């Protein structure tokens, strides 16, 4: 059975750096869908972004994350965010979670522990796809924890250390 390990957390907290280094170490990793969709929408002038149409954006992200989830074949695979992350953003914005999304979250379970990168102002950078300020990122962090707890995941906060030390910490927790 595949261990599907989610690396979650607020924007700009080091998730993608961890995923890139896990890939370099030979692990199967799944990239962050949201940034790819936002970048594509900005490039084409589309309106499927979280600040223009959160419901349509969430639907697209959840569908893509579900495809990532279902594609798992290795013993251990890592995900730069999971299905629950989309639901956390909906909770933050007080947007109803559809029955369909609820079912997807309940029927496609990742590893029982989710690893969350905490807000870390020293590494936080805004860019074209990441528009939140650090204060908002900290608020999102709290909703990530709440959402994963709602779906019965254990939360493991990844310490603020070098990328290599963070990865060693994660690996030690899943073995």
pLDDT tens per residue across span 50-62: 888 888 999 999 9
Work out how many domains the chain is built from and give that number.
Answer: 1
What's 123's domain CATH number?
A: 3.40.50.300
Provide the residue range defining the domain that includes 113: 3-174
Can you give the pTM of this predicted structure?
Answer: 0.90
User: What are all long-range contacts of 128-132, with beta carbons under 8 Å and residues at least 24 apart?
Assistant: 128/38, 128/39, 128/42, 129/34, 129/35, 129/38, 129/39, 129/42, 130/11, 130/12, 130/35, 131/51, 132/10, 132/11, 132/12
Model pLDDT for residues 35-91, shown as the tens digit of each residue: 889 889 988 999 888 888 888 999 999 999 999 999 999 999 999 999 999 999 999
pLDDT digits over 4-42, tens only? Answer: 999 999 888 999 999 999 999 999 999 998 888 988 998
Residues 84-133: pLDDT tens digits? 999 999 999 999 999 999 999 999 999 999 999 998 888 767 665 556 77
């Amino acid at each position: 059975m595949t261990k599907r390990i989610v690396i979650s957390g607020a924007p700009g907290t080091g998730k993608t750096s961890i995923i890139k280094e896990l890939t370099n170490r030979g692990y199967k990793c799944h990239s962050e869908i949201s940034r790819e969709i936002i970048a594509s929408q900005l490039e084409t002038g589309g309106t499927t972004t979280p600040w223009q149409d959160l419901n349509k954006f969430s639907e697209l992200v959840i569908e893509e994350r579900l495809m990532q989830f279902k594609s798992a074949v290795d013993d251990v695979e890592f995900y730069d965010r999971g299905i629950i992350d989309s639901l956390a953003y909906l909770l933050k914005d007080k947007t109803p979670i559809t029955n369909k999304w609820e079912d997807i979250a309940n029927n496609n379970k990742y590893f029982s522990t989710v690893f969350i990168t905490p807000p870390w102002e020293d590494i936080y950078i805004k860019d074209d796809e990441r528009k939140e300020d650090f204060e908002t990122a900290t608020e999102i962090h709290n909703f990530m924890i709440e959402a994963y707890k709602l779906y019965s995941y254990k939360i493991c906060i990844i310490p603020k250390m070098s990328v290599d030390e963070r990865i060693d910490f994660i690996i030690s927790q899943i073995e």
